[in-house]
């Protein structure tokens, strides 16, 4: 709610533990049940909790920009609703073009933006008290992370654009998320983003395998550090877009580690959110092939 007093929220954040296990074993998690595999575990994550103050950016949102902090807050009116968000064709044919226009206006340094994927999350009543419970929709992700490492970004691009490596190889691109709520104002498990300038990449981060049934990807997790600065939007409305970079293909650029968290505020409805992931290309390289699009 613009103009309201911004009050920091005290959060106990579940970072990955800087454990000796990861000296000889890479962190990993599987996004499917592994009970049928003898001796297998779904993840080897161990946690280390840090009490931090999360700052409300409602009144200071203009102070953040993608290039310096890894994220920005944009006002963007679109036509998507809680009912149309479940229509994949609608998201691709209507919502993505709307977001594309918003991003080109707010981030003019990109010459082309393409759809990658999207995900709807609806917090279930069982979350977080019953971890592992089967739910109808994806649940909030509370572990601080970036969706892709640089290696993981290229692995993902091969999945998004199968057989079209010439479309992205040797190009300068960013993998970007556009995160919004579908019902607002929202204070139920909102998304928080960490200021890139407060992170020591060498000391605070580690690559993690993300195991899917058909392939293995790679993201990045955070170890705790009291210097981290986290921000969120209280009373986030349906036109409040949180835009953040996961990774760049070339130079090391700012990126936003992110996590959902419990505000402790009792709300009358659960968080219902939509995240859209896109690839944003900077100028340069050979002309793009006309048919270099994700197959319908």
pTM of the entire predicted model: 0.93
Question: What pLDDT shows up at residue 286?
Answer: 67
Question: What pLDDT shows up at residue 251?
Answer: 82
Tokens of 27: 């962190």
pLDDT of 35 above 50? yes
Q: What percent of the chain has pLDDT over 70?
A: 94
pLDDT tens track for 172-212: 999 999 999 999 999 999 999 999 999 999 999 999 999 99
Distance CA 66, CA 254 (A): 7
Q: What fold, for 9-281?
A: Jelly Rolls (2.60.120)
pLDDT tens track for 55-110: 999 999 999 999 999 999 999 999 999 999 999 999 999 999 999 999 999 999 99
Q: Which of 157, 172, 169 shows the shortest CA–CA distance to 117?
A: 157
Q: Regarding beta strands 240-248 and 191-194, do their DSSP bridges make them parallel or antiparallel, or are they unpaired?
A: unpaired
Average of per-residue pLDDT values in the chain: 93
Alpha helix (H) residue ranges in 163-246? 201-204
286/238: higher pLDDT: 238
pLDDT tens track for 215-272: 999 999 999 999 999 999 999 999 999 999 999 998 889 999 999 999 999 999 999 9
Question: What pLDDT shows up at residue 192?
Answer: 98
The count of other CB atoms within 10 Å of the CB of residue 134 is: 8
The pLDDT-based confidence of 20 (bands split at 50, 70, 90) is very high
Question: What pLDDT shows up at residue 292?
Answer: 46
Q: What is the mean pLDDT of residues 120-147?
A: 90
Q: What is the mean pLDDT of residues 39-62?
A: 95
Buried b (16+ CB within 10 A) or exposed e, 195-223: bbeebeeeebbebbbbbeeeeebbbbbbb
**Burial grade of 96 (CB within 10 A; 0-12, 13-18, 19 or more):** buried
pLDDT of 131 above 90? no
Question: What pLDDT shows up at residue 4?
Answer: 59
CA dist 231 to 35, 116, 242, 293, Å? 37, 26, 11, 35
pLDDT of 28 above 70? yes
The pLDDT-based confidence of 132 (bands split at 50, 70, 90) is low
Residues whose CB falls within 8 Å of the CB of residue 79, separated by 6 or more in sequence, listed in order: 94, 95, 98
* Spans of all domains in the chain: 9-281
């Amino acid at each position: 709610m613009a103009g309201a007093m911004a009050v920091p929220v005290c959060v106990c954040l579940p970072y990955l533990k800087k454990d000796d296990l990861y000296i000889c074993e890479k962190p990993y998690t599987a996004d499917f049940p592994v009970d049928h595999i003898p001796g297998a575990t779904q993840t080897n994550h161990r946690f280390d909790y840090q009490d931090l103050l999360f700052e409300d950016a409602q009144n200071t949102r203009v102070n953040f920009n993608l290039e310096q902090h890894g994220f920005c807050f944009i006002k963007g009116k679109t036509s998507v609703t809680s009912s149309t968000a479940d229509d994949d064709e609608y998201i691709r044919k209507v919502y993505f073009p709307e977001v594309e226009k918003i991003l080109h206006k707010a981030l003019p340094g990109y010459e082309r933006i393409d759809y990658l994927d999207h995900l709807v999350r609806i917090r279930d009543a069982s979350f977080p008290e019953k971890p592992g419970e089967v739910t109808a929709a994806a649940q909030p992700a509370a572990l601080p992370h970036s969706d892709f490492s640089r290696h993981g970004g290229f692995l993902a691009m091969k999945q998004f654009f199968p057989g079209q490596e010439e479309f992205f190889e040797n190009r300068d691109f960013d993998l970007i998320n556009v995160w919004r709520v579908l019902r607002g104002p929202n204070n139920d498990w909102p998304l928080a983003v960490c200021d890139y300038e407060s992170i020591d990449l060498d000391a605070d981060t580690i690559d993690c395998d993300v195991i899917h049934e058909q392939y293995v990807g790679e993201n990045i997790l955070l170890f705790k550090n009291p210097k981290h600065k986290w921000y969120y939007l209280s009373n986030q409305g349906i036109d409040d877009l949180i835009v953040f970079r996961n990774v760049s293909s070339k130079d090391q650029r700012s990126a936003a580690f992110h996590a959902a968290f419990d505000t402790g505020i009792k709300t009358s409805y659960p968080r219902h959110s939509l995240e859209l992931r896109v690839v944003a290309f900077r100028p340069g390289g050979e002309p793009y092939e006309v048919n270099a699009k994700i197959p319908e």
